[in-house]
């Protein structure tokens, strides 16, 4: 469950960086020497997300922080659908939406990783390899999708973003029910 969520949410960000040249240079006609500077914005918001996760951990459980991150990621797609009737995608709007998703990734990624490592601390090497392989595999699949998204309107971007977050949320909710190691808030 945690590895799948990690692979989807963090994989989305890796896929964004892979699709960024196509989206920014080909679609938005940005010069090659300028688009890379925009990569710093999602990196910064990822760090902000990680800081938010750290702050929240002193107040709520790791499971709730993780769920909050997934729900934040889920808001990005509908936000794009809401913008769609009023504007076409732009460098600013896509960067802002991906940056919001990046905050969510900054929350989800360390929580997923810590949850897996905590559970399998006696198998850290094997679990690290599994996490890395799954994340790269998830990112590879998402790169195939994101590199084929055309930004003539928000429909493909919004559908893709919503789909990734919805699959992550569904996996989390379904598998959490069958996980005896997850301590429910009422039991804690």
Query: Does a structural domain hold residue 188?
Result: no
Query: Does a structural domain hold residue 186?
Result: no
- What pLDDT is stored for residue 182 in this prediction? 53
- What pLDDT is stored for residue 186 in this prediction? 44
Domain of 54, CATH number, reads 1.20.1250.20
Query: Does a structural domain hold residue 138?
Result: yes
- What pLDDT is stored for residue 69 in this prediction? 95
Query: Does a structural domain hold residue 168?
Result: yes
What is the rounded CA–CA span in Å between residue 87 and residue 90? 8
pLDDT along the chain (188 residues), means of 10: 86 88 88 84 94 93 92 95 91 93 93 78 79 81 85 90 94 81 48
Query: Does a structural domain hold residue 187?
Result: no
pTM: 0.87
Residue 38: domain span:
2-177
* Spatial CB neighbours of 48, under 8 Å, sequence gap ≥ 6: 103, 106
Cα three-residue angle 40-150-6, rounded to 5 degrees: 50
Residue pair 154/83 in contact by the 8 Å Cβ criterion: yes
- What pLDDT is stored for residue 187 in this prediction? 44
Query: Does a structural domain hold residue 88?
Result: yes
- What pLDDT is stored for residue 165 in this prediction? 95
- What pLDDT is stored for residue 180 in this prediction? 60
Output phi, psi for 181, to 5 deg.
-80, -15
Burial of 122 per CB tally in 10 Å (0-12, 13-18, 19+)? exposed
Count of the separate structural domains present in the chain: 1
């Amino acid at each position: 469950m945690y590895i799948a969520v990690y692979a989807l949410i963090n994989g989305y960000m890796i896929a964004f960086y892979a699709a960024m040249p196509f989206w920014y240079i080909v679609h938005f006609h940005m010069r090659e020497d300028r688009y890379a500077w925009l990569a710093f914005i999602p990196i910064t918001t990822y760090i902000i997300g990680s800081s938010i996760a750290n702050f929240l951990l002193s107040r709520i459980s790791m499971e709730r922080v993780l769920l909050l991150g997934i729900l934040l990621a889920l808001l990005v797609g509908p936000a794009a659908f809401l913008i769609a009737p009023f504007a076409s995608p732009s460098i600013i709007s896509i960067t802002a939406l991906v940056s919001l998703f990046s905050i969510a990734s900054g929350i989800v990624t360390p929580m997923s990783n810590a949850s897996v490592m905590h559970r399998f601390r006696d198998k850290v090497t094997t679990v690290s390899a599994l996490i890395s392989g799954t994340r790269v595999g998830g990112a590879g699949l998402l790169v195939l999708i994101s590199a084929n998204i055309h930004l003539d309107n928000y429909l493909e971007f919004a559908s893709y973003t919503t789909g990734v977050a919805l699959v992550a949320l569904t996996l989390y909710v379904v598998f959490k029910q069958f996980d005896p190691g997850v301590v429910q808030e009422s039991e804690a």
